[in-house]
Amino acid sequence: MQLFLTSCSLFQCLFQGGICFRGGIFCGIYPMHKLQYFLEDFVGAHAEYNEEEEERKYFRRKRLGVVKNLLAASIAGMLTYGVFLGLLQMQLILHYDETYREVKYSNLGLQNIDSKMLLGISLTPLAAFLYTPIFIRFFGTKWMLFLAVGIYALFVSTNYWERYYTLVPSAVAIGAAIVPLWASLGNYILRMAQKYYEYVNYKLEHVQEQKRAPRGAYNSYIIIFEAVFYGFFFLSFVCAQFPMFFFLKNYLFELNHTLSEVKTCGTASHGILVGFNTTVLQKLPRSSELIIVESVLMAVAFLSMLMVLFLCGSAYRPTEEIDLRNIGWGNIFQLPFKHMRDYRLRCLLLFFIYSGFEVLFLCTGFTLNYGVCSIGLEHMAYILTAYGISSAVGSTLVLTMLRLPRQVPLLTGASIHTIILIALFCWEPKAKNLAEAPIIYLVAAFWGLGSSLNKTGLSTLLGMLYEDKERQDFIFTIYHWWQACAMFVVYCWSGMPMKAKLSILLVTLVAAVFSYVWMERKIAQSVPHRLPKIPKPRHKVRGYRYLEEDNSDASDSEEEEKEGEQREAEAEANEPDGPPHCPRRRRQHNYGEPFGEDVGDIRG
């Protein structure tokens, strides 16, 4: 009984006050008002807490994360292409040497393997238009980027054992990954610019409600982010020369030996370096030295993979990734073709093609038939270095779009290339003449300036014209697929006279400029463009799972019409005394009526 009364009194104390313990010893009971004071002090809002300041710090961390993503993706792209181009260049020079082939590989047929490898790299991207959007939507932008960089690292690893069954399949894999890599990179950089805008303007109503931003709101951020990305990427041409500078240069013959049979250079040349000596190496490099160089390149390629994996964040929110994937695989397959109905893309088509022409022409036609033909193979690395540095610096000139009209970079780059092409028509440098070196370096530098304005301006323009995040992977797939087609054409024309190559380049460039000016004129006149509808995601939410299986090829408007017709038929069937049946006319939908699009964007 005493124990029961003690328990009741303690139970009453818990409601009227608080029990105090010190060192596990009962000391007394706190009054209720003091207990409430302690609780409020413990769980209540901190007196010095500033919600607005904490919110500002949070979005500042978010902005720093976006900058980290931009730098990681840019440096990873630079390292990946630097390793790929450097290894390919070193491999082709070694395999060209007749003594190296006979001593190292006997009758293996390395030149035949190299030709098929180049064919695989050039030809395979032609099929990329069919699978690139599906791969990007299935894996996600970041993971598609990671897989593509991994395929480039796989190509580096196959050079440890140079055989037909290692080099050719890896080259085909490289060709299959070129368009997905560039489409995911372009989409990723553009999304980072848009996310940075959202984190800067987080107090705006359309950002808080995740609605569409006003047209042109992202433009300044897109310009800056594209300039930073291409500034890093063009340095890959400099990084690609490191194996030449630090390893292969010591083994090359001088120009008097390698150019002993070369008679014509420049505009009078045919094919690629006709008469070039088949022996270019003074001595053969040791196998251990080659393994060390390839191991360094493999380590750099693996580093770029790790940068994408650990430092690059996601381009979309998880729910956005799911929504992008759930519009139906049939729609994802068709939408790149449907976007080609937009007159803006059709007008930029020639610029896409020229963008593929000019880079490969500089690396092969100009560097070999003008540069190496005149000042020797040992100076080839300096020509490409001048091109890479000039391109990296020239990418920053796109920042003029912040103050000047957006047409300025593209038209300026086209003007520079037009002047150079006309000059190349009239220039026939003498073989084995080092006095031509300053002019060759100057032409390479100015060509790089035009290339940077061309590529950076095109990517920036596409980001300005197509701000909808559900369209960007389709747009960049179209851009880089046409660029890959142009590179295949350059591979095919390798045996043509130089004047024919220059003519094709000049005609394409002039036509591209006229087409682009016409497009800008139509936009200024507010001529409506035709955009295909992006279907809404079709799923039912139960918890966090999407469980419903739908027809992936049907659009939302078709489903709504079918459901409406079924409801009308049921309602008419339930009216026994109603008027005779008169079929209702189907509502005419605008073809390009996308969700949330402006009216000017939906009429084609």
For 205-259, what is each residue's pLDDT tens digit?
Answer: 999 988 889 999 999 999 999 999 999 999 999 999 999 999 999 899 999 899 9
Q: What is the pLDDT of residue 309?
A: 96
Report the 10 Å Cβ neighbour count for 467: 19
Domain residue extents for the chain: 54-525
Planar angle of CA 525, 224, 183, nearest 5 degrees: 80
For residues 576 and 34, the model is more confident at 34
* Nearest-angstrom CA–CA distance, 85 and 241: 8
Q: What is the pLDDT of residue 551?
A: 46
pLDDT for position 405: 93
Q: Given pLDDT bands bounded at 50, 70 and 90, which one contains residue 34?
A: low
Rounded Cα gap, residues 115 and 130, in angstroms:
26
Predicted confidence (pLDDT) per residue in 423-442, tens digit: 999 999 999 999 999 999 99
* Average of per-residue pLDDT across 502-509: 97
pLDDT digits (tens, 9 = 90+) for 396-423: 999 999 999 999 999 999 999 999 999 9
> Residues of the chain with pLDDT > 90: what percent?
71
316 is written with which tokens?
A: 């979309």
pLDDT at residue 333 greater than cutoff 90: yes
Task: Give the pLDDT of residue 51.
Answer: 86
Q: How confident is the model at residue 564 (pLDDT cuts 50, 70, 90)?
A: low
Q: Is the pLDDT of residue 29 over 80?
A: no
Q: Is the per-residue pLDDT at 553 higher than 80? A: no
pLDDT tens readout for residues 337-365: 999 999 999 999 999 999 999 999 999 99
Q: Give the mean pLDDT of 150-170.
A: 92
Mean residue pLDDT of the chain comes to 86
Q: Is 246 exposed, middle or buried (0-12, 13-18, 19+ CB in 10 A)?
A: exposed
Task: Give me the pLDDT at residue 45, please.
Answer: 59
Angle between helices 407-426 and 437-465 (to 10 degrees): 150
pLDDT one-digit tens code per residue, 183-215: 999 999 999 999 999 999 999 999 998 888 999
The two tokens of residue 594 are: 């996308």
Of the ranges 38-52, 207-221, 446-460, the best mean pLDDT one = 446-460
Residue 324 has pLDDT above 60, yes or no: yes
Q: Whole-angstrom Cα distance, residue 596 to residue 48?
A: 43
Query: Backbone dihedral region of 140: left (phi > 0), alpha (psi from -120 to 50 degrees) or beta?
Result: left
Q: State the helix-helix crossing angle for 164-200 and 110-123, rounded to 10 degrees.
A: 30
Residue 536 confidence (pLDDT): 86
Rounded Cα gap, residues 484 and 335, in angstroms:
19
Number of helices (H) and strands (E) in the chain: give both, helices first.
24, 4
Residue 379 is predicted with a pLDDT of 94
Q: Tell me, what's the pLDDT at 46?
A: 62
Helical (H) or strand (E) element with 28: strand 25-31
Handedness of CA 242, 243, 247, 251 (dihedral sign): negative
Q: What topology is assigned to 54-525 in CATH?
A: Growth Hormone; Chain: A; (1.20.1250)
For residues 493-515, average pLDDT: 95
What is the pLDDT at residue 15? 45
Q: Range with the lowest mean pLDDT among 47-51, 68-72, 298-302?
A: 47-51
Q: Looking at residue 162, what is its pLDDT?
A: 87
